[in-house]
Amino acid sequence: RDVSFTVPAGKQVAVMGPSGGGKSTLLYLLMRFYDPQEGAVSLDGVKLPEIQLLTLRDRITLVMQEPVIFSGTVAENIRYGRLDASDEEVRRAARDADLHNFIQTLPDGYETVVGERGMSLSGGQRQRLALAASLLSRPAVLLLDDTTSALDPATEHRVRETLNRLMQGRTCFVVTHRISTALASDLVIVLEDGRLTQFGTPDALRQQDGLFRRVYEQQTRESADVAADGIVNSE
């Protein structure tokens, strides 16, 4: 309700807000998992229902917090991103997702079978596998639904570096609770109780009363406290 905004092509957008505020719903509307009851969502000026669904899903890709991994080989899981992709295209997507070197260490390389839901892989490896599948279609718009929140700090850092590289030149919506991600974005959307309460650049929102500034101040204090705890005095 009361949601209206325009994002220029190639911009990175952080989507923030409390749990249940509508962040994932926004991504699902962009994917046309369901359509709005009122209003419209447009891509390049064309309303989404006017775009063939297969074409839309080629142009917009969603990577979820808990990636969907199927029982099958590594190559088959990546190829779910585009079933007619060649072996070289599968390998290129794996390289883009910073996964190729790891795959080379597996017993059968790209033909190694991973268990259902990817239970034989670590959290970071599952995220990279899902990214590789998503990138195979070379999407113009990349949607990331809090993809690193369940990872340990070291793995999150590596995946985040990969994401930062992959998002260059693409229109990206990143659901996040981390102020560092929001500050690195071009624009920030704040959703609360299903409504858009703030929209603008990180610098502009930092000057406004609202959720963004509260989160910024809280996480800045927490970072300072952690840094202070790590100081060792010696005489």
Tens of pLDDT along 12-50?
999 999 999 999 999 999 999 999 999 999 999 999 999
Separation CA 202–CA 184 (nearest Å): 8
Q: How confident is the model at residue 235 (pLDDT cuts 50, 70, 90)?
A: very low
Classify 16 as helix, strand or coil.
Answer: strand
What is the residue-averaged pLDDT of the chain? Answer: 86
Euclidean distance between CA atoms 225 and 233, whole angstroms: 16
Q: What is the pLDDT of residue 234?
A: 44
Spatial distance between the Cα atoms of 110 and 77, rounded to a whole number of angstroms = 10
Spell 83-110 as b/e; 16+ CB within 10 A means b.
Answer: eebeeebbbbbbebbbbbebbeebeeeb
Residue 108, Ramachandran bin (φ over 0: left; ψ between -120 and 50: alpha; else beta): alpha
Mean pLDDT to the nearest integer, 81-99: 89
How confident is the model over 217-224, as a mean pLDDT? 85
pLDDT digits (tens, 9 = 90+) for 174-199: 999 889 889 989 999 999 999 999 99
Can you give the pLDDT at residue 222? Answer: 81
Please give the Cα distance from 64 to 24 (Å, whole number).
Answer: 9
Write out pLDDT tens, residues 201-212.
Answer: 999 999 999 999
Give the pLDDT score at 80.
86
Q: What is the model's pLDDT at position 149?
A: 64
Specify the pLDDT at position 78: 93
Quickly count: other Cβ atoms within 10 Å of residue 7's Cβ: 16
Residues 6+ apart with CB under 8 A from 23: 15, 16, 17, 145, 146, 175, 191
Structure-token pair, residue 204:
């502009």
Instruction: Give me the mean pLDDT over the 65-73 stretch.
Output: 83
Number of residues in the chain = 235
List the one residue out of 25, 30, 55, 3 whose CA is nearest residue 172: 30
Give dist(CA 24, CA 145) in Å, integer: 7
